[in-house]
Structure 1
């Protein structure tokens, strides 16, 4: 029987000197699932994601990507990953179609000009093919970035706050593209500060704070479980308990740096 989890993180520990950024974090992401990692600034989200990406070596625990140990077999694990960072660093002076061609080549994916134009047509950017990447709007750049992250058909896509700074229309479009990735049977691990995004997109979420996972469930189940907690009732507004209320009650009202 095929393993249902495309990603398994077990007892992950990440330290920077004497500071323990991630402490015994465990969670899994299933095939065909969008899994959200939520937490205040400095909670350990980025360190966890960086360890999964292979950008830093954890001090403890295991990360299994599609059956491969990310520490023992990093190249095998990375072959199953697609990554979209919060801020893109693509060559701004290249034309959009050249950026796609470049990264298709890096991933070893043969694509003709018609193939590339077909991809741009799917994301409604065919008419921007000969425009420089740096001239695209933020939403357009994010659409191209997501295409590049998935151009090699990875089994797990990592998205680091992908809709930050986007207007509502661009954000909804990107949500639809993320849904489409999941509907094709791929898995998505997304970090976000947006409770609306977590509720609208994620099948399950984990809340991480001070380097530890403090809750894992579906967004609605998490709200239902905590809606009568005194701490949640105290922070809720207008009598309707939301995921944001639960998040604040669990992680505290203090603004993080």
Structure 2
């Protein structure tokens, strides 16, 4: 049976020390679970709710830290970009370039990412139907890159609420590329705290299990040693010390349906 692919890490690089701690523990956990692991962290969170919210160390320092993770633990790296010029800068270090949901229709960003030749993981916007991602796929393909992954991360359902349509993953799989389910962003409550995003992490595990049963090829999680005091996305992140037991239960579903 093919190994389950897992993309996971902190929402944002809070410090080099924390990133290295999380990467070390996640590598150990994923080695024990025998899953294909990619470490993910953002160097900049450009779409925070408040202008005063923590954004990260920036691209120069952030890439240095991600390179240290890669070199120290021999891990594959994922990070997101927000502007076309960032694609080439990150391409020397990362294995997957991630396109944020709000930016998934930005042609110049998609083209720049495609030209790196890296795997491109595009998050489906909260406002798009799954079949509308065909146009996103075409932009990347016509830019000479067929290393594509599509990511489900919930759909807007009224104010401050997301809902997950599990049939959407099957719709996106029709394009012929792997589909990732983002289990932690799917439980967000965008802007739900007024000046910050809320969330409900208790639904992460059941949604991840449902996504695997519905045909997801990979899972995405944000993990943190202390989510309640994290500098970004705390309410929907998984406790690092609970991740392994949660994944053992999810893997039972994966084994059953595969």
TM-score of Structure 1 vs Structure 2, range by shorter chain: under 0.3
Normalization by structure 2: what TM-score?
0.28
More strand by share: 1
Higher RCO (C-alpha under 8 Å, 6+ residues apart): 1
TM-score (norm 1): 0.28
Bigger Rg, structure 1 or 2: 1
